[in-house]
Amino acid sequence: MNADRPCQGCKLLSLVVTLDLQVLGQRHKDIKNGLSAPPKPTIPNLLNLALKPEWVWKMSRTQRRTFGNIVGHAKGVDDLSSLSSWTAEQFDPSLNWNDIEWIKNRWGGKLVLKGILDPEDARLAKETGADAIVVSNHGGRQLDGAPSAISMLPSIMQAVGTDGPEVWLDSGIRSGQDVLRAIALGAKGTMIGRAFLYGWVLTEKKASPESCRLSAMNWISRSGSADKQISIK
């Protein structure tokens, strides 16, 4: 949020602020498997690649993958190595509710707070003027022992009341039944995340946003819940 308000005039209607990523979680599987960006060759990884020659051949012929919305656009980020350093600098452990209120005032549009998992935080989000909150445990990737989003939804719905912000659910949505459960417990809608990517892949990555949405809805509507309550992020 620079003083010149770079987002003004971009026709952006809403801003989503992630609250549960002030510090990158210790992802044990990533550490165990040596996952890093850029990838570092290890003996287990090299052995794994040696057992999959067809996959290696096909990957060698594809376009080089990168974060196209960041590399070459963010200052000082020209490759995956500099991307890692830049990403680490984006975490702000000092983020607090005063900052959220400041963002709300500077932004001027709809503000969505993602990562609410406690009724007290939901009440504070309401007092701050959030237009919507997303009940989420970050897919369980931030803290292994965090409660599931769906288990916290009823108490959060009670905390915000009928005059509070819209409440959406994220994390753990894998079928239409999951969407129905969330809506039955009071959520306005859900974020389906990877279902959108499934639709995109199934249409050979050439589909329009609407056809991707239809593919995602087809995937998730096994229990008849594919309606306007489904939000594609």
Residue 154 has pLDDT above 90, yes or no: yes
Total domain count, the chain:
2
Label residue 186 left, alpha or beta by phi (over 0 means left) and psi (-120 to 50 means alpha).
Answer: left
Banded pLDDT at 221 (limits 50, 70, 90)? low
In terms of domains, do 77 and 99 share one? no
Find the CATH number of the domain harbouring 96. Answer: 3.20.20.70
What Cα–Cα distance (Å) separates residue 184 from each residue in 67, 112, 139?
37, 21, 21
Nearest partner of 116 among 165, 185, 59, 43, judged by Cα = 165
Q: For residue range 76-98, list pLDDT tens digits in order.
A: 888 777 877 788 788 888 889 99
The residue range of the domain holding 52 is 28-89
What Cα–Cα distance (Å) separates residue 41 from each residue in 36, 37, 38, 156?
10, 11, 10, 45
Given the residues 114, 138, 181, 213, select the one marked as catalytic: 138
Q: For residue range 179-217, list pLDDT tens digits in order.
A: 889 999 999 999 887 777 776 666 665 655 655 565 555
State the pTM of this model: 0.74
In terms of domains, do 206 and 115 share one? yes
Residue 73 is among the residues annotated as catalytic for this protein:
no
Of the three residues 89, 113, 136, the one that is the final residue of a domain is 89
Cβ atoms of 87 and 69 closer than 8 Å: no
In terms of domains, do 81 and 102 share one? no
Residue 2 belongs to a domain: no
